Amino acid sequence: MKLFYQTHSPYARKVLVLAHELGIASRLDVIHHETSPTNPNATIYNVNPLGKVPVLVLSNGEALFDSIVICDYLDNLHDGLRLIPLEGAERYQALRLQALAQGLCDVGIKLRWEVERRPEALRYPAYAEGQAYKLDQTYCFIENHIALNGRTTIGHIALATALDWIAFRKLSDFSSQQRLAEWYQTFCERPSMRATEYSGKTHD
């Protein structure tokens, strides 16, 4: 299987961390591709009409996207404990946490456009402030309402890779949320995280 990847994408990294946690990372041929809404990558558009990574290309040539779909597919390729629980409250807690983490990434990307990537004359400070507020509110919600201990699920992987991307981009500070910050620091020491650290710059 080929995993079209980007070394500074939180969505792509979530997939690769999950593969490491499942012990199947060696089955993936990881190929880095730069993507940008202002600089189309023909190879990626050929397999994903949205022009985004990650994309998992199967041995039969079929392409799977996005990260949620790919993670679900990979979690069916092993005989161990599922990282996406199959049923009950545990399943929906994991999926909700993944949704929160996905939202952190989505909002963080919007914030970064307003404070860094968009030409300065076209930036809208009120919009940036609104996105920053969403990040802070999500940190508070996780700190006060989400149990982070227990067995690792897709939710934990999504959250760790999202927070580490926010730290990598220096977008927001969540250190005041002590329980969240301590959990994040501990999770980042896992071999799966150490093997997939962010690198590179955006190419527009």
Q: What is the pLDDT at residue 33? A: 97
Its pTM stands at 0.97
Residue closest to 32 by CA, chosen among 9, 53, 6, 8: 6
d(CA 56, CA 74): 10
Going from N- to C-terminal start, the domains of the chain cover: 2-74, 88-194
CATH of domain 88-194: 1.20.1050.10
pLDDT, tens digit, 9 for 90 and up, residues 81-128: 999 999 999 999 999 999 999 999 999 999 999 999 999 999 999 999
Q: E strands of the chain, at which residues?
A: 2-5, 29-32, 55-57, 63-64
pLDDT of residue 204 exceeding 80, the answer is no
Using an 8 Å Cβ cutoff, are 30 and 85 in contact? no
Instruction: Identify residue 195 by its one-letter amino acid code.
Output: A
Using an 8 Å Cβ cutoff, are 199 and 8 in contact? yes
Q: What is the pLDDT at residue 203? A: 82
The two tokens of residue 192 are: 């799966």
CATH of domain 2-74: 3.40.30.10
**Domains 2-74 and 88-194 alike in fold:** no
Strands 63-64 and 2-5: unpaired
d(CA 48, CA 4): 10
Classify burial at 5, counting beta carbons within 10 Å of its beta carbon; exposed 0-12, middle 13-18, buried 19 or more. buried
Name the β-bridge partners of 44. Answer: none
Residues of the chain with pLDDT > 70, as a percent, come to: 100
- Supply angle C-alpha 157, 160, 166, rounded to 5: 140
Q: What is the pLDDT at residue 24? A: 98
pLDDT, tens digit, 9 for 90 and up, residues 40-83: 999 999 999 999 999 999 999 999 999 999 999 999 999 999 99
Using an 8 Å Cβ cutoff, are 71 and 15 in contact? yes
Cis peptide before 191 (omega within 30 of 0): no
Count other C-beta atoms under 10 Å from residue 144's C-beta.
10
Residue closest to 22 by CA, chosen among 202, 198, 192: 192
